[in-house]
Chain A
Amino acid sequence: GQQVQQSPASLVLQEGENAELQCNFSTSLNSMQWFYQRPEGSLVSLFYNPSGTKQSGRLTSTTVIKERRSSLHISSSQITDSGTYLCAMERSGGSNAKLTFGKGTKLSVKS
């Protein structure tokens, strides 16, 4: 089965609303990252968040390693937040530096 379950698959918001994106992992993880994928395909790292809570502007990431989950909260959404958000994990143990990605959440923010 999928090691990284990301939800929701898509989300439509009115400008100003908040969003909560979730990732659940089926295996123990060493660390995880949240990315924003631009329309042309490039990945922007939003958070490298092995555990705990990190905030950057209107974005907050919370990772609970023991519960194998991470969330990305977007407050006061803006039209420019529209795009695809991806989470990825690095499995724990061995030489598992590679990232395993979720399928992504496609966010659309409308005026």
Chain B
Amino acid sequence: NAGVIQTPRHKVTGKGQEATLWCEPISGHSAVFWYRQTIVQGLEFLTYFRNQAPIDDSGMPKERFSAQMPNQSHSTLKIQSTQPQDSAVYLCASSDRLGGAEQFFGPGTRLTVL
């Protein structure tokens, strides 16, 4: 079991460029979560999927951020027109069911927007 896989581990973009972050959940897990961590805000929820369907995106910024889960083996978080305030560590997690289940986290992607 390789655990949750996230790529790339580090990404540097220029202001205004697009960034796509990838997550591969643990095989067989039906729920996938995205979080981000900054020094100021701490670790905060962005969005999650169950069986590939979006369930709650209440933590996602309304503009420029989008997430998809095209199949059970991966999810993407896309940030358009990146801004310096988007710099953060983006963490993906998965669990074997939605609610009342342990979440397992990937190593994260450190995004730096210059």
Residues of A within 8 A of B (CB): 30-31, 33, 35, 40-43, 45, 48, 50, 86, 88, 90, 95-104
Residues of B within 8 A of A (CB): 31, 33, 35, 37, 42-45, 48, 55-56, 59, 89, 91, 93, 95, 98-108, 110
Which DSSP category, helix, strand, loop or mixed, fits chain A's interface? strand
- Chain B residues with CB under 8 Å of A48's CB are 101-102
- Chain A residues with CB under 8 Å of B101's CB are 31, 48, 97
A42 CB contact (under 8 Å) in B31, B33, B107: B107
- Chain A residues with CB under 8 Å of B91's CB are 43
Query: Once the chains are docked, how many angstroms separate the CA of A73 from the CA of B43?
Result: 22
**A103 in contact with B105 (CB, 8 Å):** no
Query: Once the chains are docked, how many angstroms separate the CA of A48 from the CA of B95?
Result: 12
Instruction: List, sorted by A's number, 15 A–B pairs whose CB atoms are closer than 8 Å.
Output: A41-B37, A42-B105, A43-B91, A45-B104, A48-B102, A50-B100, A90-B99, A95-B56, A95-B99, A96-B99, A97-B55, A98-B59, A101-B35, A102-B42, A104-B42
A-B pairs under 8 A by CB, number: 64
Q: A41-B110, A42-B105 are in contact. Are A103 and B42 (CB under 8 A)?
A: yes
- Chain B residues with CB under 8 Å of A41's CB are 37, 89, 107-108, 110
- B90 CB to nearest chain A CB (Å): 10
A102's nearest neighbour on chain B, judged by CB, is B42
- Chain A residues with CB under 8 Å of B33's CB are 97-99
- Chain B residues with CB under 8 Å of A103's CB are 42
- B106 CB to nearest chain A CB (Å): 8
**B99 in contact with A30 (CB, 8 Å):** yes
Q: A33-B103, A42-B107 are in contact. Are A95 and B55 (CB under 8 A)?
A: yes
